[in-house]
Structure 1
Amino acid sequence: MTYYWVNQGKTYNEENKGGYLWAPLKNSLNHSVFHWETMNDLKTNDIVFNYCKGYLVGYCIVTSLPYKIEIPPEFKRNNDWNIDGRMVNAEYHKFEKSIPLKELYENIKTLLPRKHSPITNNPIKANQGYLYKISNDCGVKILETTNTTMSLGIIAPTEATELPPNDIPDTTSRKGLVTSRVGQGAYRRKVLQRWQNKCAVTGCSITEILIASHIKPWRESNDQERLDVNNAILLSPKYDALFDRHLISFEDTGEIIISKRITPDSLGDLKLSGKERINNLTEANKTYLAHHRKKIE
């Protein structure tokens, strides 16, 4: 485990909501900077302290290795940033009480790095930059100051911990294969972008609840199909549950197909009119849907 400090004055809400950290690869002049390159050093279980607008507000636990991905669509476009960047998945935790920077500084000033410190002392303020590495002693002191206790090493690596180069693994047993059904991995983000962050059926844009639902099931897909963005439809929980259990499917025209197992009496308050449809299926989507339709009764 290593400790870091991240300045998120403009991006904390988006990154906290999405469960990630993101930094561009280069600036508009095609130059890289050290506080973006630090993203490359992050590893699973590292602790990153979240600073936002004068306060240390919490910490996040890194749950993946870095992978390359374009700027998140929810970010306000910054003309100083290159569109390409690095991301890690992260599990966010808020302190019971946010700590003012000046108050925290007095407790950790002797432990801050001499070079590339996240805080300047004249005046006391956050340094301009994104991600800074700090010492273990400094990290532990921050936890003590915030009355935060944690069991070190509690996050175990999972299938979603690492993304291999170019997002395509050579084998499903390779560490780092992303399961599209969980987490905030690169595959999920690509599916979100593909469907413009909206449920394909309802248009719901509450991304926290939307699910990248495989068309051809994971267990039946080969390595490439499992990470093919065309093998997924972004669905709200109700439609994902029905689709996953082959109680609904979709024609190539996008019109919904409802299983005979669903009767009007069985729906209760579950609204399903039979007029639902998807409007922007790709040819590749249709190929996967042909497989899906074979299982609907």
Structure 2
Amino acid sequence: MRFWWVNQNQTFEQEFRGGYLWSPKRNRNGARNQFYENMREVAPGDVVFSFRNRTIAAIGVAQSYGYECPKPTEFGTIGANWETVGWRVDVAYSVPANRVVPKEHMGLLGPLMPERYAPLQRDGDGIQNVYLAELPRAFAEALAGLIGVEAQQFVMAAADAQLLTAPKMAARGIDEWEDKIQETVRTSSVLSDTERTAIIRARRGQGQFKQNVMRMEKECRITKVDNPAHLVGSHIKPWRDATNDERLDGDNGLLLTPTIDHLFDRGFISFRDDGGLLVSPVADPVSLGRMGVRPEANAGPFSRAQSRYLEFHRDEVFLTARRAAT
């Protein structure tokens, strides 16, 4: 379990009602922001303290891993210059009866703040451009102690309850996004019937896209299963992010078993260009082992075209925070 602090002055109402956190992937100038990158390392059961108007306005427990998601429409004009696709984490929130003002307790909290990427100034005032900051356990425990026993009870109860729902919630968020894209494809007047069918089937790794991938890929890169009946065409640059041409491009695909496809599509694993396996720090190593994933495995080299797509996957999908200047 990890502990996080989120500054929600602008978007608290929308995120609280919707049960989520959302951030852009980068600053307006395209630079990485550590407080956005942290969204990639949240895991189910992590605790989130929501800071708004100088108080801890809510406590939450993460219900999902981070995943790509469009900017919420309910934000309206808030963050007009933000990217249209960012990171989302589903969260179960609770409002504490005791609204703690951290600035009034900096004698206790100040010495416990992290040296880098702190959520507050040393005097307890907020910091602009801070969204999600990781908290040391000692800081989080001190803050929960100030809030009182309800904070501890909520965290324990919610952490137990969320384990059954987290995978479904995360999948639903992505599915809703892809459903909207699919409807746009289905009703397109520019595409032919054949093109529409091929693009829609490609969403599930089937049809013309899978055939295109099979011209270059012969087996699952991880499990070595080579029976096409047990493999799907897995997009390297996800179907939801790709252009229509990229959705059918065989270079934008691997043949993977369904379980490995899930890990790859959700960013729990990725690959270096030389075939080295990358494993997200939020991935459960026991589950990975049972699925036949060995961290030391090498999937073999990739073509230059595949490597271009893999760069996108590592930058935009893989769930590991890049250390970045704020």
**Quick one: which of 152, 160, 167 aligns to 1:161?**
167
Aligned counterpart, 1:35: 35
Could you give the per-residue CA deviations for residues 116-158 of structure 1, whole angstroms, max 9, x where no partner exists? 110102x430122100001111111111110022227424433
Report deviation, 1:188: 4.1
CA distance in 2, matches of 1:119, 1:160: 30
**What is the root-mean-square deviation in Å for CA atoms of aligned residues?**
2.9
Tell me, yes or no, if structure 1 residue 135 matches structure 2 residue 136: yes
Tell me the percent identity: 21
Could you give the per-residue CA deviations for residues 9-56 of structure 1, whole angstroms, max 9, x where no partner exists? 000000000000001012222222110001011000000100001111
Question: Would the aligned equivalents of 1:66 and 1:86 in 2 still touch at CA under 8 Å?
Answer: yes
Tell me, yes or no, if structure 1 residue 149 matches structure 2 residue 155: no
What TM-score do the two structures reach when normalised by structure 1?
0.55
Unpaired runs of 5+ residues, structure 2, are 184-202, 206-238, 241-326
Report deviation, 1:193: 9.7
Letter in 2 for 1:31: A
CA distance in 1, matches of 2:125, 2:179: 39
Letter in 2 for 1:149: Q
Identify if the C-alpha distance between structure 1 residues 193 and 100 changes in structure 2 by more than 3 Å, giving closer, same or farther.
farther
Aligned counterpart, 1:239: none
Could you give the per-residue CA deviations for residues 55-99 of structure 1, whole angstroms, max 9, x where no partner exists? 111211000011101110011342442211000100001111211
Report deviation, 1:5: 0.3
Matches within 5 A, 1:248-267: none
Aligned residue pairs total 181
- SS for the counterpart of 1:22 is strand
What TM-score do the two structures reach when normalised by structure 2?
0.50
Letter in 2 for 1:21: L
Letter in 1 for 2:152: T
Identify if the C-alpha distance between structure 1 residues 188 and 93 changes in structure 2 by more than 3 Å, giving closer, same or farther.
farther
Report deviation, 1:106: 3.0
Unpaired runs of 5+ residues, structure 1, are 164-175, 196-222, 230-297
Aligned counterpart, 1:120: 121
- SS for the counterpart of 2:160 is coil
Letter in 2 for 1:52: R
- SS for the counterpart of 1:154 is helix
CA distance in 2, matches of 1:71, 1:52: 20
Aligned counterpart, 1:244: none
Identify if the C-alpha distance between structure 1 residues 101 and 192 changes in structure 2 by more than 3 Å, giving closer, same or farther.
farther
CA distance in 2, matches of 1:12, 1:34: 20
Aligned counterpart, 2:188: none
Letter in 1 for 2:70: E
- Structure with the larger strand share: 1
Report deviation, 1:108: 1.2
Letter in 2 for 1:64: S
- SS for the counterpart of 2:5 is strand
- Structure with the larger helix share: 2
Matches within 5 A, 1:218-229: 224=204
Identify if the C-alpha distance between structure 1 residues 193 and 94 changes in structure 2 by more than 3 Å, giving closer, same or farther.
farther
CA distance in 1, matches of 2:124, 2:165: 42
Identify if the C-alpha distance between structure 1 residues 115 and 71 changes in structure 2 by more than 3 Å, giving closer, same or farther.
same
Aligned counterpart, 2:108: 107
Identify if the C-alpha distance between structure 1 residues 81 and 149 changes in structure 2 by more than 3 Å, giving closer, same or farther.
same
Question: Would the aligned equivalents of 2:63 and 2:165 in 1 still touch at CA under 8 Å?
Answer: no
Farther off after superposition, 11-20 or 54-63 = 54-63
Higher Rg of the two aligned structures: 1
CA distance in 2, matches of 1:21, 1:61: 11
Identify if the C-alpha distance between structure 1 residues 187 and 31 changes in structure 2 by more than 3 Å, giving closer, same or farther.
same
CA distance in 1, matches of 2:82, 2:162: 33
Identify if the C-alpha distance between structure 1 residues 188 and 105 changes in structure 2 by more than 3 Å, giving closer, same or farther.
farther
Matches within 5 A, 1:175-186: 178=171, 180=172, 185-186=173-174
CA distance in 2, matches of 1:55, 1:193: 39
Question: Would the aligned equivalents of 1:27 and 1:80 in 2 still touch at CA under 8 Å?
Answer: no
Question: Would the aligned equivalents of 1:24 and 1:86 in 2 still touch at CA under 8 Å?
Answer: yes
CA distance in 2, matches of 1:18, 1:156: 16
Letter in 2 for 1:187: D
Tell me, yes or no, if structure 1 residue 187 matches structure 2 residue 175: yes
CA distance in 1, matches of 2:180, 2:94: 24
CA distance in 2, matches of 1:17, 1:132: 21
CA distance in 2, matches of 1:154, 1:104: 30
Q: Point out which structure has higher relative CO (alpha carbons under 8 A, 6+ apart).
A: 2
Identify if the C-alpha distance between structure 1 residues 154 and 224 changes in structure 2 by more than 3 Å, giving closer, same or farther.
same
Identify if the C-alpha distance between structure 1 residues 21 and 192 changes in structure 2 by more than 3 Å, giving closer, same or farther.
farther
Aligned counterpart, 1:21: 21
